Amino acid sequence: MIFHVLTIFPEFFEGPFAYGVVKRAKDAGLVEIRIHNLRNWTSDRHQSVDDRPFGGGEGMVLKPEPIFMAVESIWPERRPGQRVILLSAHGCLFRQAMANRLAEEAELLLVCGRDEGVDERVAEHLADEEVSIGNYVLSGGELAAAVVIDAVARLVPGVLGNETSAAFESFQDTGHGEGLLDCPHWTRPADFRGWRVPEVLISGNHAEVASWRKERARQKTRRNRPDLLGEIG
Ligand code: 9D3
């Protein structure tokens, strides 16, 4: 799978993909990540990518021309499986279901917004979807693009080695029931500063371990994410 990122901060992406699962996926040739500098598609002497908003207001807005020029030069014609995604504070919420769906595509081009936002014609006439990663204010789309690429890249077949593990471990299915958080985990030492690992995990009784974990997953979800339990609880 090929990921393109269009950004005014190409150096930002030297870090996020140089470690762990995503780095291994790149090294194995399973995913490719190409970073594009939006300023390469500016035409004026100052390489301007933004301008003041019509109607007045604070801050600057990313201009449409460089973004359209960039996308149209990266993909001179749009093939099926090539999707443009605008990262913006005003997009649809990114969820595991969206990651699963995007992992089916061949090529994604992630456009990173900045400042106060992006000229609306990019959302209306260029992007296939407009995506936000959560209900908080970021200063731009770069961190969001890295989040989306991380979540999608690990779902690409072959990336996690075990073909079933990505789907199984996904947010919706922990093995403890639909929509619960995972159960808590412990490792050695069995006694750390007097805090002992729950005895049942050392017992070797697999059936008891399984039902205990399910109950702990429910507890954890009730405490940290009651929204996931909806009406039930
Ligand atoms: C404080 C400015 N806001 C006006 C009430 C609007 C706003 C504009 C631009 C808020 C954030 C941004 C920059 N954010 C992104 O480009 C962004 C983002 C985000 O802020 N939150 C969650 N996901 C994303 S994806 C891109």
pLDDT in tens, 73-92: 999 999 999 999 999 999 99
Whether the per-residue pLDDT at 190 is higher than 90: the answer is yes
pTM for this structure?
0.95
pLDDT for the residue numbered 14:
97
- Identify the band that residue 170 occupies on the pLDDT scale cut at 50, 70 and 90: very low
Spacing, Cα 156 to ligand 1 middle (Å): 28
Spacing, Cα 163 to ligand 1 middle (Å): 35
- Nearest-CA residue for ligand 1 atom 18 is 89
Computed over every residue of the chain, the mean pLDDT equals: 94
Whether the per-residue pLDDT at 233 is higher than 70: the answer is no
Spacing, Cα 102 to ligand 1 middle (Å): 22
Where is pLDDT greater, at 164 or 179?
Answer: 179
Nearest to 88 by CA among 38, 31, 127: 127
Alpha-helical (H) ranges within the chain are 20-27, 64-74, 96-102, 120-125, 142-153, 165-169, 199-203, 206-224, 226-229
- Pairing of β 107-112 and β 82-93: parallel
pLDDT in tens, 105-141: 999 999 999 889 999 999 999 999 999 999 999 999 9
Spacing, Cα 115 to ligand 1 middle (Å): 8
What proportion of the chain, given as a percentage, has pLDDT over 70? 92
d(CA 15, CA 12): 7
pLDDT in tens, 3-13: 999 999 999 99
User: Ligand 1: which residues within 6 Å by Cβ?
Assistant: 87-89, 113, 116-117, 132-134, 136-141, 144
pLDDT in tens, 58-72: 999 999 999 999 999
Backbone phi, psi, residue 199, to 5°: -60, -35
The three-class DSSP label of residue 215 is helix
